[in-house]
Amino acid sequence: MTTLTSATTEQLIQLIDEDPTRVAGLIDHTLLKPDATEAMIAQICREAVRHSFFSVCVNPTNVRFAAEQLAGSAVKVCAVVGFPLGATTTKEKVSETQTAIENGATEIDMVINIGAVKSKDDEFTLGQITAVTQTCHANGALCKVIIETSYLTNEEKVRVCQIAKKAGADFVKTSTGFSGGGATVEDVALMRHTVGQGMGVKASGGIRSLDDARRMVAAGANRLGVSSGVRIVQEAETAARGGTEILGVAEAVLYVTDIPRAKTFYTEVLGLPVSQEFEDAIFLQTGQNSTLILFDINKLATRESIIPAHGARGQGHACLAVPPEQMDGWRARLLAHEVEIEHEQDWSLGTHSIYFRDPDGNSLELMDGRHYRRVWRKLQEKAETAY
């Protein structure tokens, strides 16, 4: 039976396409900020257990606490070493590795000495990676080598990946996330091509959505270092339920006459999760930083909504972005719920919109995400130049 840890790139893509929530098993849930508190570490540990992430990745000072929080669970503890510059000595990296493992880490993400690679001191680079890898393996831990791709040429990326493989490391990893550059599809593909299928490739830095995660896996990554793991899994759960996903909506309010009826429509027909619920309003999450608020029009005599409604009362309009490849799925979903499609619009740029109404008569538009992003980009440009 093929598992996530043993799967090839092609098999991983197939497994995730069959069940998007499997992406959770590739995630190292990461918190490496210098101001991370114990409360924040405890939070990511709870999230990792709840969503079955592969590991929690933390700074060495937080390893023991994270291990205590994760005791009895299947979630592993990953520690960074030589982080984030990679400029410490081999002796120090080995000592840091040993201490992290003693405190409960079972995986080590070590930053290479970037200057040594740039100087073509391959003997030093090989010796340092070998020393840390041997320390890991002697203690039953895995070693991932962070090559910090944003500082390297393609020739250097290939060379250091070959060195890491020769040293016996278990993974090569793209980035620390602190260098100003994160994982790219091109770098992941190059690294996978260099090390082959027998070694791991971890993509890290800038992976914030399920779409980002899928692209990295398709390029060859079999581990993902992310701080947006919860969001990615939530998107995966949405995709698994119906293969459809709303990307986002402008911060908007729609007035409704019957909160329970409206809640049923927006959660069951459109599949939007409730992020906050009050007597007179419901906040629906439509993206990482976007919210649609349903406000009870009957309460306007005693309390105004904090955000003006879009359009007239009870006749508002909200536009929701949908991945273009999912427009057919959304049309079928609306029809399956006996929602009348009032109009479909082909845009001059080759994109598409579907218009329908909620039970209160508010107009809703599902817009092809490509056009949606163009519209908002133009609005933002207009706002930035309106002095």
Cβ-contact 257, 38 below 8 angstroms: no
Distances (CA, A) of 181 to 5, 147, 176, 343: 27, 12, 9, 43
Q: Residue 315 forms beta bridges with which residues?
A: 312
H or E segment to which residue 204 belongs: strand 200-204
H or E segment to which residue 132 belongs: helix 122-138
Q: Is 368 a catalytic residue?
A: no
Model's pTM, two decimal places? 0.67
Which residue reads 């669970």 in tokens? 73
Q: Is 19 a catalytic residue?
A: no
Give the tokens for residue 148: 């910090």
In the chain, the N- to C-terminal Cα span, in Å, equals: 62
Cβ-contact 82, 173 below 8 angstroms: no
Task: From the candidates 202, 212, 360, 368, give the one annotated as an active-site residue.
Answer: 202
Please tell me the distance from the alpha carbon of residue 299 to that of residue 313, in angstroms, as a whole number: 12
Distance of CA 277 to the CA centre of its chain: 26
- Residue stretches of the chain with pLDDT short of 50: 306, 309-312, 379-380, 382-387
Give the tokens for residue 322: 């949908």
pLDDT tens-digit series, residues 205-251: 999 888 889 889 989 999 999 999 998 998 888 777 655 566 666 56
Q: Is 166 a catalytic residue?
A: no
Please tell me the distance from the alpha carbon of residue 230 to that of residue 209, in angstroms, as a whole number: 10
Residue type, 364: L
Cβ-contact 331, 285 below 8 angstroms: no
Domains of the chain: 9-238 (3.20.20.70), 244-384 (3.10.180.10)
Task: From the candidates 28, 76, 109, 157, give the one annotated as an active-site residue.
Answer: 109
Task: From the candidates 170, 173, 187, 358, give the one annotated as an active-site residue.
Answer: 173
Which residue reads 């991945």 in tokens? 323
Write down the pLDDT at residue 253.
81
Write down the pLDDT at residue 384.
43
